[in-house]
Amino acid sequence: MTVTQTLRAPAGTETGELSGEEILARAEAAAPLLRKRSEEIERERRLPADVVELVRGTGAFRVAMPKSLGGPEMSFADQCRVVEALSTGDAAAGWCAMIGMDTWVYARCLPESVERSIVGSPDLITAGMIFPSGTAERVPGGYRVNGRWQFGSGVTHADWLVGGLLVTRDGEPEPGPDGEPVHWLVVMGRPDEFEIIDTWYTTGLAGSGSRDYRATDLFVPEEHTFRFGHSRGTGPLTVQDAILGNVPGVPLGVARAVIDHVRELAATKLERVTEVPWGQSYRIQMAVAEAEMSLSVARDAVYASLDRQWERLLAGIEPTEEEQVSNALTRVNAFRTARSIAIRMADLVGTAAIYRTSPLDRWVRDLHTMCQHILAQDQILQSAGAHLLGGTPLAPFPLGLRG
């Protein structure tokens, strides 16, 4: 099998330039449309084709496109706001948008000729796992690839799939070009060159279509491979952390939707025993205020850290490891705070929240599922604590540490 080398614009691609402000406005306008499709998205266990085009039409997948190529080159914080807006409509759509935004980050790692070949298709969607899960055997002109990757969010609708691999030569692991013990390579290929394996039967985020995918003896030309974190050029969007900044937008957006939903319920609900309107109930007032307080604190921490990181990188100043740890902790806090808000609001609503007809049921399950992601796991906290105390971080890469 051989990767097709022609990049074609998918249906619905808009080739005109869009500003960051226009993209955010379109994402906000799309949110109520996505909300209406949430039950269908979950039932189908993937984004329906027209929903993919709705999200694509916002310009969300071009947010990291360089200004030199006609893109908006949006900051980490502004990318996060776009994801947050979409996620208030549907968690799976917001999650897939967040994943698909990596296209132009990866493009900067590819040969310049390949990057320029996709300028006419600025809204290409990329999905897949970049961590090594297979081998790339050196052969003339490229690599013979074999691997299987899990959690391929968006592989059901992506235009390109990526997969992380360890390079081998004559069946033996090859050291990295810079003296690393192994050579970590990422390959790109079209979805029809891979086998998509339907494994995604989950509690939440069902609509993300995060299935396994596999390559068997797939030839990938050299120009469609890259070393992650080895970008051409300089600037904030060339660092490894460039794919992490938009991640908190998903839980923040879902938490916003949760609180807004409960506030809407409060307009007509009465306390069961006293028949006091919810809007006049001390119990309800306190719970909603505490939820708003928690979300505001978590959200402000995320955006403050993203703005600080962007400004330093823009000035050519590498963030300190302490700042990297702080950034990682704000991400974890965003996930966990959002989940706690959803559970608290579901408790407040009571038995009505346990039915599938209630969006609270779906939001609780979605947030529980996304909190199992590596970026929200205990090993991030362990790694942060270990770094702060002079110990050994078990997960330095997702923590954002360079070493």
Looking up tokens 């110990």, which residue turns up? 391
pLDDT of 14 reads 61
Ordered per-residue pLDDT tens for the chain, 403 residues: 444 444 444 444 566 789 999 999 999 999 999 999 999 999 999 999 999 999 999 999 999 999 999 999 999 999 999 999 999 999 999 999 999 999 999 999 999 999 988 888 999 999 999 999 999 999 999 999 999 999 999 999 999 999 999 999 999 999 988 888 899 999 999 999 999 999 999 999 999 999 999 999 999 999 999 998 888 888 999 998 899 999 999 999 999 999 999 999 999 999 988 999 999 999 999 999 999 999 999 999 999 999 999 999 999 998 888 899 999 999 999 999 999 999 999 999 999 999 999 999 999 999 999 999 999 999 999 999 999 999 998 887 767 665 4
Residue from 182, 179, 156, 189 nearest 168 by CA: 182
pLDDT of 6 reads 41
Residue 211 has what DSSP assignment? E
Tell me the β-bridge partners of 136: 145, 167
**Domain 20-117 class, CATH top level:** mainly alpha
CATH number of 126-226: 2.40.110.10
Report yes or no: 248 and 300 within 8 Å, Cβ to Cβ: no
Q: How many Cα atoms sit within 13 Å of 21 on the Cβ side?
A: 0
pLDDT of 7 reads 40
State how far the Cα of 26 lies from the Cα of 13, in Å rounded to an integer.
15
Instruction: Give the pair of three-digit tokens for residue 221.
Output: 């030309």
Report yes or no: 82 and 23 within 8 Å, Cβ to Cβ: yes
Q: Answer yes or no: CATH 3.90.280.10 is held by domain 248-399.
A: no
Looking up tokens 């904030």, which residue turns up? 236
Q: Give me the residue spans of the domains in the chain.
A: 20-117, 126-226, 248-399
Bridge pairing between strands 225-226 and 184-189: antiparallel
